[in-house]
Amino acid sequence: MNSRYLLLISSVAALGGFLFGYDTGVINGSQFYFSKYFDLSAAMKGWVVGSALIGCFIGAVVSGPLSRKTGRKNSLIISAVLFVLSAWGSGLPSFLPESVSLLVIFRLIGGMGIGLASMNAPTYIAELSPADIRGKMVTVYQMAIVFGFFLVFLVTYFIGSSSDELYNLNDGWRVMFWSELVPAGLFFGLLFTVPKSPRWLMLNDRKDEARKVLTKVHGSDLAALEIIEIKESIKGEEGISLAGIFKKSILPIVLIGSVISGLQQFTGINAVLYYGADIFEKALGFGQEDVLAQQILLAGVNVIFTFLAMYTVDKWGRKPLIITGSVGMITGFLMLGLTLMYNQVGLISLLGILIFIASFAMSMGPVVWVMLSEMFPNEIRSVAMSVAVAVQWACNYIVSQSFPVVVESQVNGSAFWNGSLPYFIFIGFIAVIIWFTVKYIPETKGRSLEKIEKIWEERFGTI
């Protein structure tokens, strides 16, 4: 196996994940300033932050049909173009009118790029990777996401701390958005150097091209075996339309994938990542000069524990990581919630957030993307992945739009909750994750994509 080549092409595809993290993370540092610049209410702030997620939903919905028609690689090229447009326009150049509505439009465009990349990048990596290291290779995608968050927090911290407050309010947030042009342009250029997915090539009767790609990545012996497996598994493959997912043997698989995908967002991870600046300033009492520095700490922990997931997902398995991480997430939010409830905010509160981030980074963050990229049978992969990712972005929007409203609600500000309500809501959803994983999620460690398909056939019948 040509491990170096596999890592190279996976890293290029994973740049889609990097931009996923960078584009969603840049809103954290920038919203701290543009919210004051435009004097946004809590509801409007939620709308501007959450607007990109509507674009993510749209991108995810169209990603299935687009991927089937043009391929994973070409879909990623389209997403790169959308990232470039969004990064340029979100800074509202001087010749464009300054309006919240225009900012929302460009955030929607960026969201569509994320939606396309979030379906196609992990699928592309999974379809090129051998079964024994597929989990690790798809985790490269999640590593790219958290590294994107980490780098953008460094960039926004540097921009915000190296300038005076007036500059940041008027122009600093624009530069934060424009900084994304560099990785977006790099992603666009590098995509022209990677091959097309061999499974997509086989679907389009381009067997010789598929064999060349597999031979270059896996070696001739393994490539010959995979060609046979793929050929057997694609009898009528990808022929199912969106309406076809309601077939009796298919619907349960799509529902299981969609539920675990949506539950990833109801852990509260993006409430912490998107609104971390507000949490540190308002809930934990940090000064404005410390807010962005604390975000770097969060992102650093995120990176470290995603590395842990990368090196354990193919050894421990998917289910053990999810269950262990969920217990850790509950512990972290309990520490934060109880210190808020009893007005004992301090080091334990910060430690609780860090434990939550670490636990998510080693479990629901990477493992959900691994499972989504491998759990769906070949016949329905594009459509099912599109649906599951769309559900995830819809849930992300619900959490991001509602979080600031719940935080500033009278109930949350009551003497009983004292600002802790949203974290106890998240704890309830994380408990559901543990139950759902134990009951419905199969262990897919070390199985080829075609063998995973047989697990579902044993449960729900021939697809």
Domain boundaries, the chain: 3-460
* DSSP letter assigned to residue 269: H
pTM of the shown model: 0.80
pLDDT value of residue 352: 92
pLDDT value of residue 286: 59
* Res 408 pLDDT > 60: yes
pLDDT value of residue 282: 58
Which CATH homologous superfamily contains domain 3-460?
MFS general substrate transporter like domains (1.20.1250.20)
First to last CA, the chain: 32
Quote the percentage of the chain above a pLDDT of 90: 44
Tokens standing for 210? 């598929």
pLDDT value of residue 280: 66
Quote the percentage of the chain above a pLDDT of 70: 92
**Cβ–Cβ < 8 Å for 146, 272:** no
CA 310 to CA 356: how far, in whole Å? 18
CA 63 to CA 180: how far, in whole Å? 22
pLDDT value of residue 287: 57
* Res 444 pLDDT > 90: no
* Res 259 pLDDT > 60: yes
* pLDDT level of residue 274 (50, 70, 90 thresholds): low
* pLDDT level of residue 288 (50, 70, 90 thresholds): low
pLDDT value of residue 163: 72
Q: What is the DSSP string of 55-74?
A: HHHHHHHHHHHHHHHH-HHH
Q: Specify the residue for token string 């990229």.
A: 373
Any residues with CB less than 8 A from the CB of 68 and at least 6 apart, and which? 203, 238, 382, 383
